[in-house]
Every structure is written in C-alpha cells, then in structure tokens.
Amino acid sequence: MKNPVSIATENFVKTVYQFDQKKGYDTRPGSIARELGISNAAATDMARKLARKELIEYKKYKELRLTPAGRSMALAVIRKHRLWETFLHQVFGLGMHEIHREAELLEHLTSDFLADRISHFLGHPTTDPHGDPIPDPTGELPDAPGAVLLSQAPAGLKYRVSRLSGSEKEFFDFCQARGLALGTVLRVKNQFRNPRMTEVEMEGTVLLLHAGLAQTLHVRPATGPAYDPATYVNEPQP
Amino acid sequence: MKNPVSIATENFVKTVYQFDQKKGYDTRPGSIARELGISNAAATDMARKLARKELIEYKKYKELRLTPAGRSMALAVIRKHRLWETFLHQVFGLGMHEIHREAELLEHLTSDFLADRISHFLGHPTTDPHGDPIPDPTGELPDAPGAVLLSQAPAGLKYRVSRLSGSEKEFFDFCQARGLALGTVLRVKNQFRNPRMTEVEMEGTVLLLHAGLAQTLHVRPATGPAYDPATYVNEPQP
DNA sequence: ATTGTTTTTTAAGCATACTTAAATTTTATT
DNA sequence: AATAAAATTTAAGTATGCTTAAAAAACAAT
Ligand SMILES: [Mn+2]
Ligand SMILES: [Mn+2]
Ligand SMILES: [Mn+2]
Ligand SMILES: [Mn+2]
C-alpha cells in the first residue's frame, strides 16, 4: 500500500525545500537541476512525477512549490541529516568538511526509529555543528530568532556567528584560521557594494570578506552575554 | 569511469556469498530470489547482469559462483553490516532483533572511510553481537576455529555458545529467557532424528530444541577456561 | 515591438530493477 | 524410460531516473 520513497525523490524534495527558504535562491527546475547535478529535463520530469504523488505543486514555467506532504518529507530528511552530522562530529570526531558528505548518504537509509535513538543519545540537540536547527520528530523547526546572513547584516553593530553553512574543507580551514567559529563575536564595519564585500572586525583583526563567503555565515545581534551555553548544545567536545 | 554499485547489487552479491558458505544452502537463483523477496526471473536476470560485470560466474542452470571481485564486494558489505550491528548494540543499546534490520540498510551507504572510523571507535572488534566474525578492511575473515551448528554438535560433549545467528525478536527473547547467550556453556545430551531435535543441559536445566532453532546457534567445544574476554570483545557493555 | 538569449518543456532513448506468463530444462517419481 | 513436478530461463512489459536534442515559452535588451 505505502510505496517506498527513493533516494532521488528525497534529495529532490529536500533541495526544493532548502532553495525555497534560502534568500537569493529560487525553486525553478534549472536551479534544482544544477544543485543535484542532473539535466534540466530530468528535473522537470521529476517535478511532474512528484506532482502526481502530491509532493510538489507543479505548474509549467512556474517555480516549484512543496505540498504539506512534501514539506514534511523534506523536514524528516533534514532532521536525519543534521542528527548524523552532529553525531559524526561529536562522537567520531569527523571534520566539518567530512560530516556533510557522509550525512548526505546516511540521511536516506535511516529509520525514524533510529533517528530518535541518535537524538536521544545526543541529548536531543536543537542545532547541528553548522548551527543549523534540527527539526523535531514532528517536523517543527526551532527557529533561530534574528539571524541574518553576514553579508546582509547592517554595518556598525556587533554580532555573534550563529551558522557556518559551508561544506568545503577550504571554507572551514579558512574560518578556523581566522577565528570564525560558532559563537564568535564580531563587528561589521562596512558593507561594500561593487564588488560586494563585508568588512568585519574581531579582537583587533580586520577581515574583508567577499560576498560568496559572507553569504555562508549567519550572525545574530550580540546583545546578550558573551556566551550562552543553552544556545550551543551542539558545540563539539574537543 | 568507475560506476556506482546499486543497493540491489550489493544485497545480491552478499546473499550469494552467505548462501555459498552456509551448509544446507545453495546458490541457485531460486534460493537467492526467495531470500531477497524477488521473483526467480529477476534473480536470473540479475545474475546475468552481474556476470557481465565480472562479479558472478554464471552458467545456465548451474549454481551461482562469485568471482574474486564479487567476493571482495560481499565481504566489504558484510564488514559494514557487522560493524553497524556492533555499534548499534553497544552504543545505542538497540535490541538484538533491531540491529539487523537497521544494519541491512546502513551497510549500503557507508563509505570505507566511515566504516574504519566505526571500527576504530569500537576498538577494532573481531566479532559482532551475534558472534559472527567481522572482516577486516582488506576482506580477511578472522575464522572461528572449531565452531559448528548446535544441531550438528556430537552429543556427550560440553560446548560454549559462539554465535546467535537469528534476526527475529522471538528468537532472542527465547534465548534470553533460557539463558542462551554468547559464552554460555552447555552440554549436548542427545541429537534426535525424526523429528530432528537437540537436547542440551545447562546448569541443571534441560532444553529440547527443534532443528530450526538449533541451526541458528553455533557452538565451540568448551575446552578452555570458563570465559575468555579476548574472544568476546563484542559483548555489550550493560 | 522585434530580436536574441535563456530556460523550460517535450520527445526519444537507455540502464536498472523489478513483474507475470510462457517456454525450456532439470530433477524426481513411477 | 517415460512421465510428472519443479526450477530456470526467456520474453514482454512497467516504473524509475537519468541522458541528449529539438521545440516552445519566457525573459531581456535594444
Ligand atoms: Mn549538511
Ligand atoms: Mn542526500
Ligand atoms: Mn545481521
Ligand atoms: Mn542490505
């Protein structure tokens, strides 16, 4: 009666969900295709198939939209992805650039039962090592209040880094070398246009970050105390 | 250049390997088909495809045989399966009937890299919670010297349980209730034929086990000391 | 508004992994 | 040795998930 869901379907639905959220991204077939490394034709085809299964709303030449069932599937996959990333980082000590690669696979063959066990073992974390929120078993997302892209943060104010969204080793090496980590406090000195760059200052150091990089960091206004442990239950134990 | 291996292929090759080892089993397409829950036609078809890929030697109407490449693939999958079972049992505390079900999936999307990390985390165990040996990264199997099926163990001698090969909850419930666990010492009182049954004695208790059950337990002659910790590195920590 | 570029869609085709039904071969029984 | 039963193979067909090439639509720019 209930037919199995393929890995391709899960990845597709997940990508639509994420591109729908992320500003600066759209959910047209071409964007999804580029992300998944498939042809435009394949993405259109998939969209039509998933529409038949009531996971996607598809209207020719329009952006793709998820149905409630599609959104629910996406969040379940994202939950498994982020639980695995948290686990692999904290327990096995995998590097930040390694966890995404492994989680991208494991997310698809992890039962709800096992996901709950991982969550329990980790003490029900609410964010992954990148600072991304982990959906709960019902698909609710703990929201990160006030978070913005570093590239969009108004200049002159102090912020705390709340997400590192990259997946490349080079990205994490750079962040580590420059002291950019979850919780790091910094001040945005300038937001330049043309070329778009963000100038930040942290403990004396000044960095000029190009837009591509400043878009993979999220920050929140640093109004509270210097460090709030409850907010960072996922910080890796060294 | 090197094309990806499907889950169906891995399961097929693994099953051929295991049926080739297990006495009382054969590797004809029908047997593999029954185990995997697919039609005979599908199994024949798969055998021919895998023969083209040099994973299986296929001759019409003959039993299937693995090539060295096929055997190597099977052992890599079995390694991942048993590492996951060990891990899920020891670390997450999953029950004996739950670990097989989860490992059956995870084994296919686990990189060699991750498998080695799991192995390292567990202290490089040599057997899984069922007592089955875990192949090393090169595909070498640590052999269990002198192990036989309980159903085939000559009567009159003392043995120690060395493998619990079932996957059903009922099987493990029964074993636990009767004190049958890895390392349990017992004496085979009688081997009955017609119907085939095995009578064992352990600490006063006498059990009469039908063949189906006595075939899922392996035992080794209990010559050594009562308990050899080096032999049972996989015993779950309570 | 017409033209040109980009994107999407359609069309045709291929590999994988299955199905059921019929034909063939093997195996077992009389 | 002939026949019956069981297993295997072949054949035909389906769903999935991709491809490339061509047609159609949308978008952008003069
Ligand atoms: Mn990730
Ligand atoms: Mn994935
Ligand atoms: Mn198992
Ligand atoms: Mn499997």
Measured CA to CA, the distance from residue B129 to residue B165 in angstroms comes to 9
In a domain, B123, yes or no: no
Contact check, Cβ <8 Å, A109/B114 = no
The total domain count for chain A is 2
Residue pLDDT, tens place only, B63-107:
999 999 999 999 999 999 999 999 999 999 999 999 999 999 999
Last residue of one domain, picked from the residues B66, B93, B112 = B66
A28's enclosing H/E stretch is none
B214's enclosing H/E stretch is helix B211-214
In a domain, A211, yes or no: yes
Last residue of one domain, picked from the residues B31, B49, B66 = B66
Short-list B98, B80, B81, CA closest to B89: B98
Q: Which of A105, A119, A121, A169 is the best substitution to test chain B (most B C-beta atoms within 10 A)?
A: A105
Residue in B101, B105, B121 closest to A92 by CB = B121
In a domain, B96, yes or no: no
The predicted structure's pLDDT at residue B168: 85
Kindly report the CATH number assigned to the domain that includes residue A208: 2.30.30.90
Which residue is listed with tokens 């994490």?
A172
The predicted structure's pLDDT at residue B225: 53
In a domain, A76, yes or no: no
Regions of chain A short of the pLDDT cut 50:
226-238
In a domain, B23, yes or no: yes
The predicted structure's pLDDT at residue A144: 73
Kindly report the CATH number assigned to the domain that includes residue A36: 1.10.10.10
Which tokens belong to B115?
């498998």
Residue ranges making up the domain that contains B45? 7-66
Closest chain B residue to A114 measured between Cα atoms? B102
Residue pLDDT, tens place only, B31-66:
999 999 999 999 999 999 999 999 999 999 999 999
Residue pLDDT, tens place only, B114-136:
999 999 999 999 999 999 999 99
More confident residue, B200 or A171: B200
Please spell the DSSP secondary structure of B122-153, one letter per residue. TT--SB-TTSPBPP-TTSPPPP-TT-EEGGGS
Which residue is listed with tokens 């739950």?
B98
In a domain, A158, yes or no: yes
Q: In A, which residues are within 8 Å of B92 by CB distance?
A: 114, 117-118, 121
More confident residue, A236 or B151: B151
In the predicted structure, residue B198 carries a pLDDT above the cut 80: yes
Residue in B92, B109, B114 closest to A109 by CB = B109
- Mean pLDDT, to the nearest integer, of B183-206? 92
In the predicted structure, residue B235 carries a pLDDT above the cut 80: no
Nucleotide nearest to A40 (CA to C1'): C8
For residue B219, give how far its alpha carbon lies from the nearest alpha carbon of chain A (Å).
32
Going by pLDDT thresholds of 50, 70 and 90, the confidence category of residue B232 is very low
In a domain, A73, yes or no: no
Ligand of minimum distance to the alpha carbon of A128: 1
Residues in B 113-172 with any Cβ partner in A closer than 8 A? 113-114, 117-118, 121
Last residue of one domain, picked from the residues B47, B66, B85 = B66
Measured CA to CA, the distance from residue B26 to residue B22 in angstroms comes to 8
Taking a C-beta distance cutoff of 8 angstroms, is the pair B80, B107 a contact?
A: yes
Answer whether any strand C atom is within 7 A of the Cβ of A118. Answer: no
The predicted structure's pLDDT at residue B224: 57
In 3-state terms, what secondary structure has residue B206? strand
